[in-house]
Amino acid sequence: MQMAPGLIRKTLVSGDKLMICRFDLDLGVVIPSHAHPHDQAGYIVSGKIRITVDGKSFDLGPGDS
């Protein structure tokens, strides 16, 4: 599913408390700030991403989760 230009999501598991997705992002894509009713986890396969959780920013790269 194309969520936005350059942002593709494939839902792998989705339940009441957990959602696991695969995301493929083009270089420079900005994901808008948002929230979810369930827990989410991620694992960086390649590239780099900066995420912000509860006001704290983290720079992540391959092998980070």
pLDDT tens-place string over residues 5-62: 999 999 998 888 888 889 899 999 988 888 888 887 788 999 999 988 888 999 999 9
* Residue 40: alpha-carbon gap to chain centroid: 8
Instruction: Give the pLDDT band (50/70/90) at residue 2.
Output: very high
Rounded CA-CA distance 62/51 in Å is: 14
For the whole model, what pTM was predicted?
0.71
Sign of CA dihedral 39, 26, 55, 36: negative
Rounded CA-CA distance 39/15 in Å is: 10
